Structure 1
Amino acid sequence: MSEHRYGDERIVDWLNQERNWSYPRNVPYHPRSDSHGGAQCRYFVDDLLYESDAIREAAAAGELVYQEDYEVGEGGLSWNTDLVIGPPADSVQASLDGDREMAQANPAEIYLAADAKSIMTEHQKARRNRQRDINSFADIMHHHHEKALTAGILLVNLAEEFDSPLRDPDDITDHVHIERIVGEIIEMFDSINRSEGEISANLDGAGVVVVRHSNLIDDIGDSELVTEPPAPQPGDRIHYRTLVQQMADWMEARFLS
């Protein structure tokens, strides 16, 4: 068996792949695409399966499924959720020969929900929006599914310049004081009220993944995971792998014991 690689490393591989977008410019990352969030959530599923024997066994038995882009609620209290995990609404046969060891199907009940967001450029404007997104996600999810665990995953860019496909081709954004700003973003997301493992309306966990990604075509293949400060350090509750461990432990205790 090959060594497991966590989602914080694998999302960098995703950014380093050359793709042909249907947008005006072919770039690895596009803010109007949800492809990066989908990839991050699928890696999160794989990490939970790796982290927990109980989750892996339940998935192999067809007792747990995952679904992407799942609509929770209706009207003003609805949310398109990037990822949900729970027992299947209908009997399913888990396929262990595919990309992941959990079948994809609609759940009858939600055990865990995750929202994947990113701040790749215009950090000052985007950080408050992403904070509101994560808080709203937790509020709406718990309104409809009180016991569900809610996890926020945030991808943050530390590159000093970024080529946004929403700007003119020669309008490259310079990120001034980027290390300080990314540090402030991490502190902001770490300060979001947490459930601390109890059933509450608060967010259950958050993980920040810091990358250095310019989005410049000439730099494809050069993106990297940032592990030194200001990125979260191993053991920090805002570290991505701490989030994985917490969600696996709490999911076992709340739903699989």
Structure 2
Amino acid sequence: MFGPEILVRTLSKTTREDRYGNRWQYHSRSDHHSKVACWGIIFDLLRLNPLLQRHVANGIVNFGINHEMRDFAHDRKKNLDLVLCTSSRVDSRLADQTLQSISRDYGIDLTEKEQAEMEALPPLRRAPVGSVLMALEAKACMTAHQRALPRLYDELNSSHLTVHGASDQAIAAGFTMVNIASNYLSPDLNKGNRRHSPEWSVHDQPRDAQLAIEKIRQLPRRSKTGDTGYDALSIVVIDCANDGAPARLVTEPPAPQPGEIYHYASMIDRLGHIYSTRFKDIGQLGP
């Protein structure tokens, strides 16, 4: 699985610039981290799922970015980071955008091996969204963990409710990134003062990260259509001080361990199984 390593490698670069001229690895008002995380999920899924590869090669499945889904039952709406979908129509303005091309737009840092594997895949193209097959939501808890938990939970919980309120057959996938760094430079607290008097946020680790992980574990999950919850959900733990030092992927506890349902590999395996079961006949319906 490449996704988590791609994410921390990309977040090791200070590519987010604020209006004070500060450059950050992570900024809460940017969705860059979410897009990179979702890109990695689709990359791994496409690499490992032959049925999805065939659907993409045949032009049956496309992707959409920041797609608004509307819950039919409650008329609530939410923008999802990335969706796999059928196309509603042809749009020449999107024709040249592929999973491969947006990796450059997002500044995604790939190794030679990852680059070669990406180039060997059929081009997954962006298109106007028709029917949503899979919707991805990615969120991060980087600082002020305990104070941030109610909002984090509400935002994640509203996503699967909106997705399945719009289409019960759609796969709702959630990705969460939890920071275990003891010291953190918050962009909100370090605007004009970062250079001369930076204000560090100090965390009680690993307690703070564990609190966030336990809250995410409370999110509902479902094992079949008709139930309420995420179809798949993963938690990735990183160590990122946001001061320009390289981010690090944390694999030891409290990060989920291999075989646990919240482990990234378990999420990819589950998404692949659900996709192959739920959409095995989609090719017979045409694009």
Same fold (TM over 0.5): yes
Whichever residue aligns with residue 58 of structure 1, its letter is: H
Whichever residue aligns with residue 205 of structure 1, its letter is: A
Q: Which residue does the alignment assign to 2:147?
A: 125
Q: Which moved more, 1:245-254 or 1:188-197?
A: 188-197
Q: Which residue does the alignment assign to 1:47?
A: 44
Post-superposition CA distance 1:107-158 (Å, at most 9, x none): 2101110110000101001122111111111111111112111011001101
For the pair 1:8 / 2:35, whether they are aligned, the reply is no
Q: Is the 8 A contact 2:39 2:99 kept in 1?
A: no
1-structure distance, mates of 2:249, 2:78: 30
Alignment of 1:235-250 (within 5 A): 235-250=259-274
Alignment of 1:89-168 (within 5 A): 89-90=88-89, 98=101, 99=103, 101-168=123-190
2-structure distance, mates of 1:29, 1:134: 19
Q: Which residue does the alignment assign to 2:112?
A: none
State the 1:86 CA deviation: 1.5
Q: Which moved more, 1:66-75 or 1:53-62?
A: 66-75
For the pair 1:211 / 2:238, whether they are aligned, the reply is yes
Partner-residue secondary structure (3-state), 2:279: helix
Whichever residue aligns with residue 191 of structure 1, its letter is: Q
Partner-residue secondary structure (3-state), 1:111: strand
Q: Is the 8 A contact 2:62 2:85 kept in 1?
A: yes
Partner-residue secondary structure (3-state), 2:131: coil
Q: Is the 8 A contact 1:72 1:79 kept in 2?
A: yes
Partner-residue secondary structure (3-state), 2:176: strand
Q: Which runs of 5+ in 2 are unaligned?
A: 104-117, 282-287
Q: Is the 8 A contact 2:16 2:26 kept in 1?
A: no
Q: Which runs of 5+ in 1 are unaligned?
A: none
Q: Which residue does the alignment assign to 2:110?
A: none
Whichever residue aligns with residue 183 of structure 1, its letter is: Q
Partner-residue secondary structure (3-state), 1:69: strand
Q: Is the 8 A contact 2:67 2:81 kept in 1?
A: yes
Q: Is the 8 A contact 2:238 2:248 kept in 1?
A: yes
State the 1:230 CA deviation: 0.5
2-structure distance, mates of 1:252, 1:173: 45
Give the TM-score, by structure 1 length. 0.90
Identity %: 27
Question: Considering only aligned residues, what root-mean-square deviation do their CA atoms show, in Å?
Answer: 2.1
Structure-2 change in CA distance of 1:249 and 1:119 (3 Å): same
1-structure distance, mates of 2:218, 2:65: 27
Count of residue correspondences: 249
Q: Is the 8 A contact 1:207 1:238 kept in 2?
A: yes
Whichever residue aligns with residue 148 of structure 2, its letter is: A
Q: Which moved more, 1:243-252 or 1:180-189?
A: 180-189
Structure-2 change in CA distance of 1:27 and 1:82 (3 Å): same
Q: Is the 8 A contact 2:62 2:84 kept in 1?
A: yes
2-structure distance, mates of 1:199, 1:54: 24
2-structure distance, mates of 1:201, 1:91: 34
Give the TM-score, by structure 2 length. 0.81
Q: Which residue does the alignment assign to 1:83?
A: 82
